[in-house]
Structures are given as structure tokens and as C-alpha cells.
A = this chain, B = another copy of it.
């Protein structure tokens, strides 16, 4: 592939112009409701990447894991050891391990109590609600109640919600929503098992 230097320069100039125009128009700051959904990988992972960013700035972070507690211990070990991060795990692993809807609801309720406390406390700049979408999909928590608490948060607090099947009303309330879409998955296509450092 050959690229003409003059054409390249023209292209980057045009891009820079567009970028500057957008930057000039974007002047507000506010706490964002961020949703990561879809069936691809990277929903929780991108949330934990934001955690790194937040902690790198010395901001305070709260994390509630609603479901994957039994799996995602590495994040907990690492982030939980940072003074600026409060990390709470409530879920007992995947829901199909429990097969007990009432127990799952009780767990979701306990996790939500922690989440609500974090959101209302004013102690954090970001609160990550990992796998809350899944909990909402199974109707373990009333969506209205969750939306009300998130909607009444401090205007500068960022809330990140992850999990497949984000409810439509949550996406409507969201400022930033991303779908992680599978292009290729080794688990499915090559019989590769979940591996340390990648999946857990």
C-alpha cells in the first residue's frame, strides 16, 4: 500500500479540523451513566480498565460485583488492595450454579444495598456495578428502583453498568453505551478453555 505524503497531510489536516470542531462544541462535564452490553467479551474488562484510569488519577472508586464473584478473583485481589478502591463481591458465581431464584434475589438485594450506599455516599467519583444488567434481566431487582437511585446520584458521579441484555430503559437513561460484539471466539471455535489472565 502506497500513500502519497501530500494526500496524507491533507487527510490528517481534515481530521484535525473535525476533531477541533467537536472539541470546541463539547464543553460540559457531568457524571456519566455508562453501559457495557452485548454478547461479546470486554464488558467487565473495559469497566476494570476504567478502574485503572480512575485510580491512576487518585480518584476514589467503588465496585460491586453482582454475579461473577466466584470467577473474577484476580481483579478483586488487585483492585481490592488499592486504598482508594472499595470492592464488594456478592454473587455466588453464575446464576445457573445456584438454581434457586429466591436465594439469587436475596443476594441481588444485598449487593444492591451496597451499591445504593456507595452511590448515595458522596465518597466516590466512580461506582462500577458489574453484571447488574444480568440481575435486571432476571428481574432479581425492580428496574424502577435501580433507575431511581442512579438518576438521583450526585451530578458528577460516574456509574458504570455491565452485563448482557441491558434493559431498554437503562440504555435510554445512559449517556454512553457500548455493545461488545463477538467477531471470533476461541472457546467456541477452537475448543480453547477459559485461561488465566484472559477470562479470569
Contacts and interface: CB of A to CB of B under 8 A. Distances in A.
Contact of A46 (B35, B45, B171, B197): B45
Contact of A40 (B50, B138, B171, B178): B178
Contacts of A77: 56
For A1, A54, A178, the residue with the greatest tally of chain B CB atoms inside 10 Å of its CB is A178
Copies of this chain per assembly: 2
Interface string A177-192: 1111111111110111
A198 to B, nearest CB: 6
Contact of A178 (B94, B175, B180, B188): B180
B192 A175 contact: yes
Interface residues of A, number: 89
A83 to B, nearest CB: 13
A52 B73 CA distance: 11
Interface of A: 1, 3, 5, 8-9, 12-13, 15-16, 19, 22-23, 25-30, 32, 34-38, 40-42, 44-57, 59, 72-79, 94-99, 101-102, 125-126, 138-139, 158, 171, 174-188, 190-198, 200
5 contacts: A8-B138, A49-B50, A49-B75, A171-B184, A176-B186
